[in-house]
Amino acid sequence: MANFYTDNSDIQFLMKHMDLGEIARVIEEDFTFAREHDYAPATADEAVRNYDMVLSALGQLSADFIAPRAEDTDRVGNTLNEDGSVTYAPGIVQSLEKLAKAQVMGFTLPHRFGGLNFPNLVYSIATEIVSRADASLMNIFGLQGIAETIDSFASEEIKEQYLPDFADGKITGAMVLTEPDAGSDLQAVKLRAFQDDDGNWFLHGVKRFITNGCGDVLLVLARSEHDRKGGLGLSLYVCERGPTVKIRRLEDKLGIHGSPTCEIFFDNTPCQLIGERQRGLVTYVMSLMNGARIGIAAQSQGIAEAAYRVARDYAASRKQYETAIENFPAVREMMMEMKIQLEAGRALLYETSRVVDVAMGYSRQLEKNPPKDKAEKRQLKNTSKKYERFATMLTPMSKYYGSEMCNRVAYDSIQVLGGSGYMRDYAVERHARDARITTIYEGTTQLQVVAAVRSVCSGRAEKYLAELAERDYDAELKDLLVELEKGTQKLNTAISFVKENGNEYMDLYGRSLVDIAIDLIVGYLFCDQASTKCDMSVPLTAEDTSEQAQSISMKQRKAKIARRFIQRNASKNNCLVEQILSGDKSTFSEYQSVVGPVISE
């Protein structure tokens, strides 16, 4: 029996290294739920055991059941039937059935609706594991944020109507936002929401590129204030699949073939308002999108892991010039970089998820159970706000870094396999196709950078890096910490320069600024892992190849990774800072001369 959770030593290590017990205490509200629900944990230890055991069951399902069906799902895809219904690939139907039986479709929903009330961090790990098995299935498994949005903002009646069925895996959902003329710019959404004389709401119009638009319950962003342009004219609605929801088209895509991408025509569809009018985009969809972005970062992590493993296996077994190709410097360099980037992405993703959990936990505590003492309450408020700001910065960083990383890893995996990698005989070509969407949907890389660079330049990065620098590190890492401190100073110099040059200049060099900030953050995270108090040993040789299998401590291993990562990036980031400080604006001044006119045939 294979298992995508237990076979991943980095995940195993991080589960030990991260303080899951403290997160559990916050989201289980000091374990008070155990009194009402027989499966809710009564202690931190019990909660952590729950996470571990459930992930292990999911890891087994992913490896033994979901992964073997992924190739067929990729080939078969979904079908749009004449009556407007959509038939999923058989592998998707079977896998969804198993996931429902495994009771993992309500990962983060509260116990009272039948959910597991697990932290986002554990959900990210689960999403990574499922995506490694089949990236396209993640697009349905990973839509649990829809139920979470209902839980956060809808009325009690709507919650009771839908959430238990979501948690049981009886229904799936879709977030229905994009329109032909409203992609990145959701403020341009046109789909009309209107009321009849009795105050009942209806939807009319077209939505496009809707993942799982054929799902049972749809969250629809629509214009409720017809005389009002922009985001404040939009509200969020929930409706059910039915005769007035017409799937007109299924997109023919490069990758994630198991995930149906629908064009939908709403023909006066009855619906219910979520929360308050006019807060649809500015509050609810923003929150939904933040969760979805972390979901895509986790999906990216899973695809990268899958691609890397095929490449590693091939590099070790393929012989040319009478030796395994991984013995050649060029291949070795690719494998090494892939592996380090994979762990960098995971470090950032898990840290982001952790910060989101802490932020959500504190804000829930403030709402439900605030401290009576005024000073204490103010203190909690400040801490909560601080974590929220960190989450706002880390979320686009994680989505950006993870999705770009997964494309690089998938690209290089094909390269390692050479001609074989280009053929459909190996899974890497599928991983590369599946990877390609991750830098595009739920906000393109360019939009993530726009979001992140504002946080970086507003002083948040500096504050966060200062907090990271305060953690306890082992003495052996001192020189690396000095290097990171120097890097932070250089970043600050670059930030000041950019701010003097205005917003356009900031966006022009946004990616470089965000890259430097991410490298510094991940540098600290690697040092933190290398200073762990929960070490474990990992094998250096395959189990069955030698009698005395060699092993290395994860702590030592992470120290080696930290050293290489920080030193290599220091020189790279120096170059980036130099470019930023150059003041070069030729992208604007010379655009016309270099790019020339639009050539029409």
Interacting residues with other proteins (CB under 8 A): 38-41, 46, 49-50, 53-54, 57-58, 60-61, 65, 98, 101-104, 114, 116
Residue partners of 262: CB distance under 8 A and separation at least 6: 86, 174, 210, 211, 212, 213, 214, 247, 249, 250, 251
Of the pair 126, 410, the CB lying nearest other proteins is at 126
39 or 588: CB nearest other proteins: 39
Least distance to other proteins from the beta carbon of 5, Å? 11
- Tell me which long-range contacts 439-446 makes (C-beta under 8 A, separation of at least 24): 439/400, 439/403, 439/404, 439/407, 441/209, 441/211, 441/296, 442/289, 442/292, 442/293, 442/295, 442/296, 442/399, 443/184, 443/289, 443/293, 443/396, 443/399, 444/184, 445/400, 445/403, 445/404
User: How many angstroms separate the CA atoms of 283 and 144, rounded?
Assistant: 18
Q: What is the CA radius of gyration of the chain?
A: 24
* Three-class SS state of 362: helix
Tokens of 69: 């069906």
**By C-beta, is 64 or 485 nearer to other proteins?**
64
Give min distance, CB of 58 to other proteins, in A: 7
In the beta sheet, which residues pair with residue 156? Answer: none
Q: Least distance from C-beta 536 to other proteins, angstroms? A: 19
Q: Which of 270, 183, 182 is nearest to 218 (CA)?
A: 270
The CB-of-395 to other proteins minimum distance in angstroms stands at 26
Torsion of CA 433, 434, 437, 439, to 10 degrees: -100
DSSP 285: I
Burial grade of 492 (CB within 10 A; 0-12, 13-18, 19 or more): middle
**Closer residue to other proteins in complex, CB, 54/508:** 54
Question: Measured between alpha carbons, how far is 142 from 438 in angstroms, rounded to an integer?
Answer: 13
Query: Cβ closer to other proteins: 49 or 228?
Result: 49
DSSP label at 172?
-
Alpha-carbon distance of 158 to 237, in angstroms, equals 11
C-beta of residue 41 within 8 angstroms of C-beta of residue 34: yes
Using the minimum distance from each CB to other proteins, give the nearer residue, 65 or 194: 65
Alpha-carbon dihedral sign for residues 303, 22, 362, 162: positive
- Using the minimum distance from each CB to other proteins, give the nearer residue, 60 or 512: 60
Nearer to other proteins, 104 or 273 (CB): 104
What is the nearest approach in angstroms of other proteins to the Cβ of residue 104? Answer: 5
Please report how close the Cβ of residue 98 comes to other proteins at its closest, in angstroms: 6
Q: CB 137 → other proteins: shortest distance, Å?
A: 15
Contact 31, 41 (CB under 8 A): yes
Using DSSP bridges, classify how beta strands 537-539 and 79-80 pair: parallel, antiparallel or unpaired: unpaired
Least distance CB 38 / other proteins (angstroms): 5
Cβ at position 32, least distance to other proteins in Å:
16
256 CB-near residues (< 8 Å, 6+ apart):
135, 136, 139, 433, 434, 437
Task: Kindly tell me which of 42 and 254 has the beta carbon lying closer to other proteins.
Answer: 42
CB 215 within 8 A of CB 171: yes
Rounded least distance, CB 107 to other proteins, Å: 8
In this structure, the chain runs to a length of 601
Nearer to other proteins, 41 or 205 (CB): 41
Q: How far is the CB of 94 from other proteins (least distance, A)?
A: 8
In whole angstroms, what is the distance from residue 540 CA to residue 550 CA?
5
For other proteins, the closer CB: 61 or 480: 61
352 vs 296: CA distance, rounded Å: 13
Nearest distance, CB of residue 49 and other proteins, angstroms:
6
Q: Which is nearer to other proteins, 65 or 209 (CB)?
A: 65
